[in-house]
């Protein structure tokens, strides 16, 4: 199962997984945007997937997402994390926030991260251009300790607002850029080994990130077409090494928070001598 993309329906495949086997999950499900067409005033083309229509009744969609989230929780080790990329949707004047179903699943919500995409997909003029998406850091507690361990300072400094553009040179209709899973995996595992899951593998960004960081991965994807493209990309993962090199520039601190505090206290004492 390691370092492969499994072709199948996500929930059916997840139910075959053993308990406590995954370290980190990074994924972005279809958003259920109900785009049958772009509309007469639309500038951007609607997102269309090869094997799903992304047009479920909202109640059914949310129920499905809770089931997927709970299966991943079961398959994740205690102390493991999931990074769940979604967005606030505005459909026919109704706003739907992912928090509506995230608070109903088994995961502990550790942090909400804002992804500033710096580009708007929907520019109809009914609202300010939406350039943000959300990345939810979900955590599986160890012995009911929801606080969890601290990150290294060099990872925590990335802050809760991530600014990078979407992947524009990609045949997949809705890919996220490699830097997104790179940051998540690197911040959680650092130099440690681990298994990374993406249950909606799509264009293979999470697998490429795992390969660049020398981690094992497991992918699930319903579309054979997307799997072929993703596997070809994964074979050539080294061509994206420059993306890791650039990301590593953000994971550097000259002094930790504790070291800065010690220096500050030392300077204060010297001032009063």
**Exposure of 184 by Cβ count < 10 A (0-12 exposed, 13-18 middle, 19+ buried)?**
buried
d(CA 67, CA 64): 5
User: For helices 179-189 and 205-212, what crossing angle results, to 10°?
Assistant: 50
More confident residue, 272 or 218: 218
What percent of the chain clears pLDDT 70, i.e. is strictly above it? Answer: 86
Pair of tokens at residue 55? 């047009």
Beta pairing partners, 196: 24, 217
d(CA 153, CA 224): 41
Checking if the pLDDT of 213 tops 90, the result is: yes
Write the DSSP assignment of 51-113 as a string of letters.
S--S---HHHHHHHHHHHHHHHHHHEEEEEEEEEEE--EEETTEEE-THHHHTTSSSEEEEEE
Checking if the pLDDT of 39 tops 80, the result is: no
Band of pLDDT at residue 45, cut at 50, 70 and 90: low
Q: What is the pLDDT of residue 43?
A: 45
Which CATH number covers residue 147? Answer: 3.40.50.150
Q: Which of 31, 35, 52, 34 is nearest to 44 (CA)?
A: 35
d(CA 123, CA 44): 8
The domain tally of the chain equals 1
Question: Judging by DSSP bridges, how do beta strands 22-27 and 195-198 pair with one another?
Answer: parallel
Q: What is the pLDDT of residues 108-148, one digit of tens each?
A: 999 999 999 988 877 778 889 999 999 999 999 999 999 99
d(CA 7, CA 219): 9
Checking if the pLDDT of 44 tops 50, the result is: no
- Cβ(218)–Cβ(4) below 8 Å: yes
- Cβ(225)–Cβ(50) below 8 Å: yes
- Per the structure, the complete domain to which residue 265 belongs is given by 4-271
What average pLDDT does the structure give for the chain? 89
Q: What is the pLDDT of residue 140?
A: 98
């Amino acid at each position: 199962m390691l370092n492969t993309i499994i072709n199948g329906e996500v929930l059916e495949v997840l139910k075959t997984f053993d308990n406590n086997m995954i370290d980190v999950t990074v994924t972005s499900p279809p958003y259920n945007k109900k785009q049958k067409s772009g509309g007469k005033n639309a500038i951007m083309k609607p997102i269309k997937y090869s094997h799903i229509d992304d047009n479920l009744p909202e109640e059914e969609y949310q129920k499905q997402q809770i089931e997927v989230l709970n299966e991943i929780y079961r398959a994740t080790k205690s102390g493991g994390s999931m990074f769940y990329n979604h967005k606030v949707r505005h459909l026919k004047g109704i706003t739907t926030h992912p928090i509506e179903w995230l608070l109903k699943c088994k995961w502990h919500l550790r942090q909400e991260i804002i992804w500033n995409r710096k580009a708007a997909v929907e520019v109809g003029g009914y609202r300010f251009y939406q350039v943000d998406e959300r990345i939810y850091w979900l955590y599986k507690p160890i012995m009911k300790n929801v606080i969890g361990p601290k990150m290294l300072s060099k990872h925590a400094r990335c802050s809760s607002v991530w600014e990078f553009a979407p992947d524009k040179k990609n045949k997949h209709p809705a890919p996220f850029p490699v830097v997104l899973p790179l940051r998540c995996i690197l911040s959680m595992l650092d130099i440690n080994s681990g298994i990374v899951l993406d249950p909606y593998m799509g264009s293979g960004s999470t697998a490429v990130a795992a390969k660049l960081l020398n981690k094992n991965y497991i992918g699930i994807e319903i579309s054979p077409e997307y799997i072929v493209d993703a596997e070809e990309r994964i074979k050539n993962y080294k061509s994206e090494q420059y993306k890791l090199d650039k990301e590593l520039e953000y994971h550097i601190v000259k002094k930790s928070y504790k070291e800065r505090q010690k220096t500050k206290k030392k300077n204060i004492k010297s001032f009063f001598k």
